[in-house]
Amino acid sequence: MRAYERLLKYVKVWTTSDGSSGKHPSADREFDLARILVKELQDMGIKAEVDDKCYVYAVIPATKGYEDKTSIGFIAHVDTVEEASGKDVKPIVHENYDGKPIVLKGRTIDPEVFPFLKKMVGETIITADGTTLLGADNKAGVAEIMTMAERIVNSDIPHGRICIGFTPDEEIGQGADFFDIKKFGADFAYTVDGDDAGGIEYENFNAASASIHIEGFSVHPGAAKGVLVNASNVAMEYDSLIPKNERPENTEGREGFYHVSHISGETATADISYILRDHDWDKLTEKKEMMQKAADIINKKYGEGTATVKIRDSYRNMIEMVKPHFHLIENARKATRAVGLEPIEKPVRGGTDGARLSWDGLPCPNLGTGGFNFHGEYELASAERMDKVVDIIINIIKLYSE
């Protein structure tokens, strides 16, 4: 079975994570795909299980005589983002893509807007129907790892121990929270969670989140002069103190940002949620300090306790943990060039489970999947590029078996 055929099946399973639930996994529906994957792995003759937190662990034992080779792992996540619906996904296969705009329900994927499509003429493109996201992030990676597993167990390719892991809740920053590295059993690993095939990512944002609570003073507006403190207005004033030129829409490359991810309020209280990102840890620290400085200005103006700030670190830049094991990148480059692609190496303006896992002791760079336009209804994947990713993964396994 080709990887995209698995993708068509997996995207129909609703696995949107729920950042407000406070549970682990955040949504029980994530188990639905996890259990399917365990059953498929077991049907291949591979030992696999899903634990009570929805982490899938599987292992393909080393070929006889290769037990001393490096144990390599591959990881993907089963959940999809909350920003666009992942329920009732209806995938569409566009065979032999002709380079023209792809017309879906209520929207068009236009090559003039997404120029990379001009390089995909003749390929098999998979989209949703326009009403939901596709779920290639990260079900393309899941499908590629599963396809690799099937090919390995049905071949005579010699290999060391191969470890497979599927995680929940990556999209809400909790994918590595309960991942058991010891149980997983790999010496090194790769997440398969990037975009174009040939992508090799080993530098990502340092990340934090900031929650700002504004406490106002509510009175009747007819008697408000000199008394009323409208929390919603104060929230907007707080945001005005944050550098506007450092918003995501004004940054690129290694430039960090402040991003309002949620805002709500009324007269009495208001809340703002930010995500803070920077490739440089010291600059991220400055951003965290900026959040408190803004609160100090608000509190000086309106009274102590008007604005309170809570900051939580999310993940670190993996490059510091990957550098001592740069064979991971060198072998990924060789594996990519062996399938006729030139490696695409760029800093990730985001993060992966691998960033957290690298700092937890499992060096874990990221590979591309052949998917594009993640986190929305314009998402798509290429069947041929997914095939290339499977070949890249198998080439990595071969390199670590030499």
Residue 214 to residue 378: CA distance in whole angstroms = 36
Residues 61 and 119 in one domain: yes
**Mean pLDDT, residues 262-266 taken together:** 96
Residues 189 and 113 in one domain: yes
Residues 210 and 198 in one domain: no
Q: What's 27's domain CATH number?
A: 3.40.630.10
DSSP code at position 229: B
Reply yes or no on whether the pLDDT at 351 is more than 90.
Answer: no
Q: What confidence score (pLDDT) does residue 121 get? A: 98
Residue 363 to residue 331: CA distance in whole angstroms = 14
Domain boundary among 315, 346, 377: 315
Q: What confidence score (pLDDT) does residue 348 get? A: 87
Residues 99 and 184 in one domain: yes
Distance of CA 170 to the CA centre of its chain: 6
Residues 266 and 158 in one domain: no
Reply yes or no on whether the pLDDT at 381 is more than 90.
Answer: yes
Instruction: Write out pLDDT tens, residues 153-169.
Output: 999 999 999 999 999 99
Instruction: Write out pLDDT tens, residues 240-249.
Output: 999 999 999 9
**Mean pLDDT, residues 44-64 taken together:** 98
Reply yes or no on whether the pLDDT at 315 is more than 90.
Answer: no
Closest-CA residue to 390 (of 196, 151, 211, 111):
151
Domain boundary among 315, 348, 373: 315
pTM of the model: 0.88
Contact 251, 197 (CB under 8 A): no
Average pLDDT, the chain: 97
Domain boundary among 299, 315, 331: 315
Residue 249 to residue 263: CA distance in whole angstroms = 18
Q: What confidence score (pLDDT) does residue 173 get? A: 85
Residues 295 and 326 in one domain: no
Active-site entry in 40, 170, 171, 196: 170
Residue 186 phi/psi, 5-degree rounding, is: -95, 150
**Mean pLDDT, residues 27-41 taken together:** 98
Residue 235 to residue 212: CA distance in whole angstroms = 8
DSSP code at position 257: E
Residues 72 and 199 in one domain: yes
Q: Which domain holds residue 79?
A: 3-204+317-399
Residues 248 and 293 in one domain: yes
Contacts of 262 (CB under 8 A, 6+ apart): 271, 272, 273
pLDDT band of 361, cuts 50, 70, 90? very high
Reply yes or no on whether the pLDDT at 334 is more than 90.
Answer: yes
pLDDT band of 132, cuts 50, 70, 90? very high
Contact 148, 46 (CB under 8 A): no
In DSSP notation, 328-359 reads HHHHHHHHHHTTT---EE--BSS--HHHHHHH
* Known catalytic membership, residue 330: no
**Mean pLDDT, residues 137-166 taken together:** 98
Active-site entry in 30, 79, 201, 353: 79
How many domains does the structure of the chain reveal? Answer: 2
* Known catalytic membership, residue 170: yes
Residues 242 and 386 in one domain: no
Residues 361 and 237 in one domain: no
CB-based burial of residue 154 (10 Å sphere; 0-12 exposed, 13-18 middle, 19+ buried)?
exposed
Residue 37 to residue 226: CA distance in whole angstroms = 62
Reply yes or no on whether the pLDDT at 60 is more than 90.
Answer: yes
pLDDT band of 344, cuts 50, 70, 90? very high
Residues 328 and 229 in one domain: no
SS (H, E, C) 267-323: CCEEEEEEEEEECCHHHHHHHHHHHHHHHHHHHHHHCCCCEEEEEEEEECCCHHHHH
Question: Cα dihedral angle (58, 63, 64, 70), rounded to 10 degrees?
Answer: -80
Reply yes or no on whether the pLDDT at 38 is more than 90.
Answer: yes
Residues 200 and 210 in one domain: no
pLDDT band of 289, cuts 50, 70, 90? very high
Q: What confidence score (pLDDT) does residue 326 get? A: 98
Q: What's 224's domain CATH number?
A: 3.30.70.360
